[in-house]
Structure 1
Amino acid sequence: MAEVSISKQHIFQQKLVDIRRHLHQFPELSHEEFETTAFIRATLEAANIRIASEFNLETGLIAEVGGLQGGPIVALRADIDALPIQEETGLSFASKYGGKMHACGHDFHTAALIGVALLLKEREHELAGSVRLVFQPAEEKAAGAQKVIKTGALKGVRAIYGMHNKPDLPVGTIGIRPGALMAAADGFLVELEGVGSHAAVPETSVDPVVAAAYLVTALQSIVSRNVSPLESAVVSVTRLHTGTAWNIIPEKAILDGTVRTFDAEVRTRVKQRFSDIVTGIASAYGVKASLRWLQGPPSVHNDAALAEAAGQVAKRLGFEVTTPTPSPAGEDFAFYQQEVPGFFAFMGTSGPQEWHHPAFDIDERALTVSALFFTELAVDELSRFAAER
């Protein structure tokens, strides 16, 4: 693409913009991406790109370009679902569905991967193997990657590549980091059961409110006293539900929230300390406690060799390469990395707001940057893997 005329680049950019804006206007939530899937399918089929129907998904789809017999396979992934957020961008192509919005940029990811598919189709004769294009549903529910894996779509895949837009990086900048890039994202739900009473006679109660208050405070000691300052973890109690009236000590208190870690050993340690503290507080204050641990995706952890190869491609194309700070947000791309080597990049989008904000948007110039980068990366990596055979 870098070698063709400016006019052709402009036409390609406008095509990706049109695709992204269409997707933006018709966002669909996790597991509901039926129209989105149909649009992706129609766009790819119009370019004679094969839909890999053998990998059956209810929403989302997998396509392939290449197909050299016996050649290596690499996979590229984009997520396609939206969020339950009311859009406040004021864009002319804002969401037409109330309470639904592409506030995390998955419309951008999808449009960019369609662009990669189109470019790879033009260069199909150059490919030393096959590129499997994964349009994944339900990333926001951390469920889509596992659905894809269950189809067998990673069978024979040498490596998988993905990306997330990064609003705080300028367009033309690619965040490439070996090792931990995004956090393991777990949740918790704690229920404390005591004995209710009139608030004027607390001695007749077993007060879950007091126990809950101490528990919120005690949980903060996990990060400050059980995690090294050279490591990283987050423990956040985000909701506390209890009580019905000002003069009644309630029977129950319920807390929930999230835990974020980057290291597997730290993740295990934090979970154990969390359980110990819940048990200890419950015993000290005489309440019954139940803990439900909601295990989410592990940390996104980039293969060092894949990250090195990606950096070389980015620099060759003239893009700026930076080593980004790891993000405490979670990403179910990590499940793929448990199956095959994987690399996940941050693509600069010069956005006005962070992910999940109702005024979230991206600079659409990043569409072509992403399409060019992942096309060249796929071509290069297939050649590298073919030479190793």
Structure 2
Amino acid sequence: MSDPLNYIELHKKEILQTYQDLHAIAEPSWQEQQTSCYLQDQLSSAGLSITTYNGHHGFIAEIAGRTKGVIALRADMDALVQEVDGEVIANHSCGHDAHSTMALYTALALKNSETDLHHTIRFIFQPAEELAEGALQMMKEGVLEDVLFLGGLHVRPHTEVPFGKSAPAILHGSSATIIGTITGTPAHAARPEEGNNPIEAASFLIQSLRQIRLPGNKKFSIKITELHGGETSNSIPASARFTLDVRAETNETMDALLKKARHIIQHTAALTETKIAYEEEGYSPAATENATAIQLAQQAIGSVLGEENIDGPCISQGAEDFHFYTWKTPEIPATMIGLGCDLKPGLHHPQMSFNTDALIYGAQILTQLLLNADREL
């Protein structure tokens, strides 16, 4: 048996090439066919067993252990669709290509080093994280069956985790979207008393939402991000469409915030004598901290980077569908490591870049994490 961490060190060039390959074939959510096939080919060639599913490109790869229990690692595969240099394309500006690369070489390192494993090691390659739909789909496929531990990793902006350091947990908040239509009564702008302006109702709604307060100084935000109504300067429109971005530090705060938002929408409709139809979409739960999982991650980071490079938990205002796994199965110890990699200007920026040296120690941290979980759970 050879050292799996050394395997990663010896394959730096291949890791960087894999990252470049995946970066070049960026594919949107639910369309990750090339990415999935690329990863499956390398994993199956190394002797891992592959399980695919109907209707999407997510899959799992496994290294058999001596027992039925499973230690799992999740990586996402999809890219964003955004405008880059004037062209709307699929673009890896959230680092999912990096996550898949590190998970792939973690698997190859454990397999090729012939590591003696107590548990089965399962690698979950997940589609559609950007739509907050992939984790739920993979759970429907049964990928958490027999899982005793679940790990993940996400590259972090330089402002959150410094290069050369890693955080044992990323504490994302909860997010949701409210999409609605306000229906009023159209009229000539010269005779406004004959109509009922939905844009004015939208203005009242916006101001009312700004007045929301929650006890205990809980952190949250609810803001309008889209408002469309009217086509001409001299007519009151029949309707106006709006979108609200909703975020909260915890799931409990999100529940309270959505309850208040629903009440305000109903109150606005009654007060302005309009009809407001709306839907809540894109819900992502907040992270939950698990002491066992965080300790395993701290040990892994310390082993690879030194204890002085264990950063504190990374608090992020963003969202991540990894937390559906913990929200739905809180009994499974799970954590998502935050990888410091000098990422600039920021996640989802069309020109996002990072120091690819982090791919090497990131894969080593993931490998050590799985070894620690295999030994201690």
**CA 1:197–1:59: 2 relative to 1, 3 Å:** same
Gaps (5+ residues) in structure 1?
A: 89-96
- Does residue 297 (structure 1) correspond to residue 284 (structure 2)? The answer is yes
Answer whether contact 2:8 2:364 (CA < 8 A) is retained: no
Report the 3-state secondary structure (helix = DSSP H, G, I; strand = E; otherwise coil) of the residue aligned with 1:371: helix
Q: 2-side partners of 1:5 and 1:132: how far apart?
A: 18
Q: Rate the CA distance shift 1:345–1:4 in 2: closer, same or farther, 3 A.
A: closer
* Cα distance per residue 1:283-305 (max 9 Å; x no partner): 11111122211251211223121
3-state SS of 2:29 partner: coil
CA offsets, 1:100-158, max 9 Å, x none? 21111110000010110011113443211111001111101111111111111111001
Q: Which runs of 5+ in 2 are unaligned?
A: none
Relative to structure 1, is the Cα distance of residues 253 and 2 closer, same or farther in structure 2, using a 3 angstrom cutoff? Answer: farther
TM-score (norm: length of structure 2): 0.92
The answer on whether the counterparts of 1:300 and 1:344 sit within 8 Å (CA) in structure 2 is no
Matched AA of 2:57: T
Amino acid at match of 2:38: F
CA contact (8 A) 1:126 1:379 kept: no
* Other structure's SS at 1:52 match: strand
Distance 2:96 2:369 in 1: 21
- The secondary structure found in structure 2 opposite 1:326 is strand
Question: In 2, are the aligned partners of 1:103 and 1:358 still within 8 Å (CA)?
Answer: yes
Bigger share in strand? 2
Change (3 A) 1:56 1:371: farther
Q: Does 1:133 align with 2:123?
A: yes
Per the alignment, do residues 275 and 59 of structure 1 end up closer, same or farther by CA in structure 2, a change over 3 Å counting? same
Match of 1:333 in 2: 322
Name the structure 2 match of 1:232.
219
Q: Name whichever of 303-312 and 236-245 sits farther off.
A: 303-312
1:159 pairs with one of 132, 149, 155: 149
2:5 and 2:174 map into 1 onto residues whose CA distance is 44
Matches of 1:40 and 1:13, distance apart in 2: 17
AA paired with 1:377?
A: L
Q: 1:254-269 to 2 correspondence within 5 Å?
A: 254-269=241-256
- Name the SS of the counterpart of 2:111 in structure 1: helix
Call closer, same or farther: CA 1:125–1:351 in 2, change over 3 Å: closer
Please report how far the alpha carbon of residue 67 of structure 1 lies from its aligned counterpart in structure 2 after TM superposition.
2.4
Q: 1:87 to 1:19 in 2, by over 3 A?
A: farther
2:202 to 209, 212, 222: 212
Could you tell me which residue of structure 1 aligns to residue 239 of structure 2?
Answer: 252
1:227 is displaced (CA, Å) by 4.8
Partner residue, 1:345: 337
Q: Name which of 358, 365, 382 aligns with 2:350.
A: 358
Once residues 375 and 101 of structure 1 are traced to their aligned partners in structure 2, the CA distance between those partners, rounded to angstroms, is 27
Aligned-residue RMSD, C-alpha: 2.2
Matched, 1:173 2:165: yes
- How many residue pairs end up in the alignment? 369
**Counterparts of 2:227 and 2:82 in 1: how far apart (Å)?**
23
**Alpha-carbon distance in 2 for matches of 1:253, 1:99:** 29
1:117 aligned residue: 107
Counterpart of 2:47 in structure 1 is 48
Residue 85 of structure 1 contacts residue 103 of structure 1 at CA under 8 Å; is this kept in 2?
no
Q: What is the TM-score normalised by the length of structure 1?
A: 0.89
The one of 357, 360, 371 equivalent to 1:368 is 360
Give, in angstroms, the shift of residue 369 of structure 1. 1.0
- Distance of aligned partners of 1:143 and 1:165 in 2 relative to their CA distance in 1, 3 Å threshold: same
Separation in structure 2 between the aligned mates of residue 57 and residue 17 of structure 1, nearest angstrom: 31
Q: Decide whether aligned partners of structure 1 residues 271 and 304 sit closer, same or farther in structure 2, where only a CA change above 3 A counts.
A: same
In structure 2, give the amino acid aligned to 1:341: P
Select the residue among 65, 71, 74 that pairs with 1:74. 71
| Shift in Å, 1:325 | 4.3
Report the residue type matching 2:302 in the other structure.
K
1:235-267: CA deviations, max 9, x gaps?
121000111111111111111121111322211
Shift of 1:56: 5.6
1:323 aligns with 2:322: no
Deviates more, 1:97-106 or 1:351-360: 97-106
Q: Which segment drifts farther, 97-106 or 14-23?
A: 97-106
| Per-residue deviation, residues 1-21 of structure 1 (Å, max 9, x unmatched) | 997998x76541111100000
Distance in 1 (CA, whole Å) between partners of 2:21 and 2:214 is 48
What does the per-residue CA deviation read over 1:80-106, in whole Å, with 9 as the maximum and x for residues that have no partner?
001112445xxxxxxxx9612111111
Paired AA for residue 84 in structure 1 = V
Q: Do 2:165 and 2:305's aligned partners in 1 also have CA atoms closer than 8 Å? A: no
